[in-house]
Amino acid sequence: MSELFRKIFKKMRDELFTIPNLLSILRLLLIPVLVWLYCFKHDNVATCILLVFSVATDIVDGFIARHFNMITDFGKFLDPVADKATQLAVIICLITRFRAMIVPAVVLVLKELFSFLIRLKVFKETEVVDGAKWHGKAATGIIIATVLLHLLWNDIPSPVSLGVICFTTAFMIFSATMYTVECFATLKKYGKK
């Protein structure tokens, strides 16, 4: 196991200083500011603006990585970590007003923990690091839309809120299932014989 982590840390060190990876790090650094704006300043509009800026940096880093050949295995790991950490932080903030948000928060944690473990197994056996898939990007878009809706619509009716939260949670579960199937397909294709 220590050999595996040595490989991972060497790859991280070698691939850290690219523009896309630095933008992912910026997104991580914005998380405490988002929490402060929502929980302490109680400024939903500023929280939304900063969240949209964070999403925009995610789009820009993906564009730069693809078009300027800066895709790295470390970036494939760091980018979703920054995305999910941002999503989770804002969802947890919203739990203070919308108790049902605890469900997507728990699903997100379990989904990402399971994904991390299965991807670690794939990397250990194949040294393949898969990037984001369409359903993962769609899940991210749906989560962000749900968060923005709840930030901007102060008196959202409970049935509407609950319906949106249920749909978001169901899509997250669908995406987790798809990633699991794809990881097992990668293991079958490239795994140790």
55-114 confidence digits (pLDDT tens): 999 999 889 988 888 887 778 778 888 999 999 999 999 999 999 999 999 999 998 898
Residue 26 to residue 12: CA distance in whole angstroms: 16
Mean pLDDT score, 43-57: 96
* Residue 1 clears pLDDT 70, i.e. is over it: no
6-29 confidence digits (pLDDT tens): 776 766 666 678 889 899 999 999
CATH number at residue 144: 1.20.120.1760
Number of domains, the chain: 1
Contact present, 101 and 153 (Cβ < 8 Å)? no
Closest CA to 70 of 128, 24, 28, 137: 24
